[in-house]
């Protein structure tokens, strides 16, 4: 028996994109945030990314990212991808922000 595949999250007309932000960092790079909610107001899809092609030559320059595309919650870090435990979108957003700040301190 094969492993049960997670349900793919699609961004259909029933979803509303509530966040679509792109910020240029003074120190270089781009912060990208996209968030979709369903009719009940629940976050059902998200894409958070810190992109800096000068510092990362893989994964389209994505140094750090979190998203739930492809039917599962996962983290991108300098080309590596790993599944993450999902408790809430707010927890993922907080983790993303804390990791971005730590990376910027190293830069």
Q: How far is CA 78 from CA 50, 84, 85, in A?
A: 10, 16, 19
User: pLDDT class for 1, splitting at 50, 70, 90?
Assistant: very low
- Residue-range domain boundaries for the chain: 16-106
Which pTM does this prediction carry?
A: 0.84
Report pLDDT digits (tens) over 43-102. 999 999 999 999 899 999 999 999 999 889 999 999 999 999 999 999 999 999 999 999
E strand or H helix at 74: strand 74-77
């Amino acid at each position: 028996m094969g492993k049960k595949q997670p349900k793919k999250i699609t961004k259909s007309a029933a979803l509303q994109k509530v966040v679509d932000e792109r910020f240029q960092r003074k120190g270089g790079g781009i912060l990208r945030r996209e968030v979709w909610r369903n009719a009940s107001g629940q976050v059902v899809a998200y894409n958070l990314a810190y992109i800096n092609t000068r510092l990362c030559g893989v994964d389209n320059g994505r140094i750090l990212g979190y998203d739930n595309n492809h039917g599962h919650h996962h983290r991108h870090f300098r080309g590596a991808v790993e599944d993450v435990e999902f408790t809430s979108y707010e927890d993922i957003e907080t983790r993303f922000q804390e990791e971005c700040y730590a990376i910027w301190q190293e830069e």
